[in-house]
């Protein structure tokens, strides 16, 4: 594992969270959607703290913390050749999985398919912004593998490999 790639990913994660946060605040101006305090409630449960009503500091710590730490993963992905739009799409799913695993494992959240459709769409858009901004920056900062990946010989249905 390359600590330089992970650190560069952390920096890209900061930029990705910043972009997501700006997009969220602009979206909230348009939709009038209130702030979500799910990050705060999840962090409180992870730390075994009593639940406080909508703790702003805990909310920001979890919101920024997850994005920054996961940025390190995206840096390592870029270094190993998981790059470009496909790499960012895969990373978006990792971010969504991270959120949902923590929220639901702690009992703070509910499964996303139980949410109203507009909330599902909004979450996907914001996580996509985070993932693609983080990905674009890591791909610009971090060189990929020195050689192209070996093309795997595949098979086609009904034909021998």
Percent of the chain with pLDDT over 70: 98
Give 18: exposed, middle or buried? Use CB within 10 Å, 0-12, 13-18, 19+.
Answer: middle
- Residues 6+ positions from 150 with CB-CB distance below 8 Å: none
pLDDT digits (tens, 9 = 90+) for 114-148: 999 999 999 999 999 999 999 999 999 999 888 87
114 contacts 51 by C-beta, under 8 angstroms: no
What is the tens place of the pLDDT at every residue in 57-104? 999 999 999 999 999 999 999 999 999 999 999 999 999 999 999 999
Residue 27 has pLDDT above 90, yes or no: yes
pLDDT band for position 160 (cuts 50, 70, 90): low
Task: Name the strand (E) or helix (H) holding 146.
Answer: none
Q: Which of 26, 34, 57 is CA-nearest to residue 119?
A: 34
Q: What confidence score (pLDDT) does residue 151 get?
A: 79
């Amino acid at each position: 594992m390359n600590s330089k790639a992970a650190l560069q990913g952390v920096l890209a994660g900061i930029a990705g969270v910043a972009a997501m946060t700006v997009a969220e605040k602009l979206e909230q101006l348009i939709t009038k959607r209130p702030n979500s305090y799910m990050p705060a409630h999840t962090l409180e449960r992870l730390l075994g703290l009593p639940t406080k009503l909508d703790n702003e500091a805990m909310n920001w710590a979890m919101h920024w913390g997850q994005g920054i730490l996961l940025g390190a993963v995206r840096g390592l992905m870029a270094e190993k050749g998981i790059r470009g739009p496909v790499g960012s799409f895969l990373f978006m799913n990792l971010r969504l999985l991270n959120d949902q695993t923590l929220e639901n494992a702690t009992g703070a959240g509910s499964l996303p398919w139980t949410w109203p459709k507009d909330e599902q769409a909004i979450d996907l858009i914001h996580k996509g912004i985070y993932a693609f901004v983080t990905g674009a920056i890591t791909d610009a900062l971090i060189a990929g593998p020195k050689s192209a990946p070996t093309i795997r010989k595949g098979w086609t249905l009904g034909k021998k490999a």
